[in-house]
Chain A
Amino acid sequence: MTDTTVDRARAAELGALGRFLKATELDTRMLGMVGALLVIWIGIHILSGGLFLTPRNLWNLSVQTSSVAIMATGMVLVIVMRNIDLSVGSVEGVVGMIMGVAQAEFLIRVLGFQLGNPWLWIIALAAGVALGLLIGAFQGFIIAYMEVPAFIVTLGGLLVWRGMAWLITSGRTVAPLDATFQLMGGGPRGSIGATASWIIGAVACAAVAFALLNGRSQRKRFHFPLRPVWAEVFLGVVACAVILGAVWVANSYPWPVGIVRQYAEKNGITIPEGGLFIAHGIAIPVLMAVVVGIVMTFITKRTRFGRYVFAIGGNPEAASLAGINTRWVTMKVFMIMGVLAAISAAISSARLNASTNALGTLDELLVIAAAVIGGTSLAGGSGTVLGAMLGALLMQSLQSGMVLLGIDSPLQSIVVGAVLVVAVWLDTVYRKRV
Chain B
Amino acid sequence: MAEKAAPQTHQTGTPLIDMRNISIAFGGIRAVDDASVDLFPGEVVALLGHNGAGKSTLIKILSGAYKRDAGEIFVNGDEASISNPRDAKKYGIETIYQTLALADNVDAAANLFLGRELMTGWGTLDDVAMEAEARRVMGRLNPRFQRFKEPVVKLSGGQRQSVAIARAILFNARILIMDEPTAALGPQETAQVGELVKQLKADGIGIFLISHDIHDVFELADRVCVMKNGQVVGTARTSDVTQDEVLGMIILGKCPPGAIPGPGALKIAA
Contact = CB atoms under 8 A, between A and B. Distances in A.
Contacts of B151: 314
Contacts of B99: 317-318
B169 to A, nearest CB: 15
B105 A313 contact: yes
Contacts of A270: none
Contacts of B102: 315, 318
Contacts of A301: 125
Nearest to B152: A314
B146 interface: yes
B110 interface: yes
Contact of A318 (B64, B101, B125, B131): B101
B131 A222 contact: yes
A320 B106 contact: no
Nearest to A3: B146
A59 interface: no
B144 A224 contact: no
A29 interface: no
B114 A224 contact: no
A311 interface: yes
Interface in B103-152: 103-106, 110, 114-117, 119, 123-125, 128-129, 131-132, 144, 146, 151
A269 B128 CA distance: 57
> Size class of B's contact patch?
20 to 34
Contact of A311 (B89, B110, B128, B144): B110
Interface stretch (A91-99, A194-202, A321-329): A321-329
A5 interface: no
Contact of A222 (B103, B119, B123, B128): B128
Given A3-B146, A224-B131, A313-B105, A319 B124 contact: no
User: Helix, strand, loop or mixed for chain A's interface?
Assistant: helix
Given A304-B125, A310-B105, A319 B132 contact: no
Interface residues of A, number: 30
Nearest to A217: B128
B235 interface: no
Contact of A324 (B97, B104, B115, B124): B115
Contacts of A312: 103
A307 B106 contact: yes
Given A314-B104, A319-B103, A320-B85, A218 B128 contact: yes
B198 interface: no
Given A321-B95, A324-B114, A381 B105 contact: yes
B76 interface: no
A322 to B, nearest CB: 4
A304 to B, nearest CB: 5
Nearest to A221: B128
A45 to B, nearest CB: 38
Interface string A148-192: 000000000000000000000000000000000000000000000
Contacts of B85: 320-323
B178 to A, nearest CB: 14
B114 A304 contact: no
A322 B65 CA distance: 10
A323 B103 contact: no
A314 B153 CA distance: 10
A267 interface: no
Given A222-B132, A318-B114, A323-B89, A303 B65 contact: no
B201 interface: no
Contacts of A318: 99-103, 114
Interface of A: 2-3, 7, 218-219, 221-222, 224, 298, 301-304, 307, 310-315, 317-324, 381-382
Given A303-B123, A315-B102, A320-B85, 19 more contacts: A218-B128, A221-B128, A304-B117, A307-B110, A307-B117, A307-B125, A311-B105, A314-B104, A314-B105, A317-B101, A318-B100, A319-B103, A321-B95, A321-B101, A322-B114, A323-B89, A323-B115, A381-B103, A382-B105
Interface of B: 63-65, 84-86, 89, 95, 97, 99-106, 110, 114-117, 119, 123-125, 128-129, 131-132, 144, 146, 151, 153
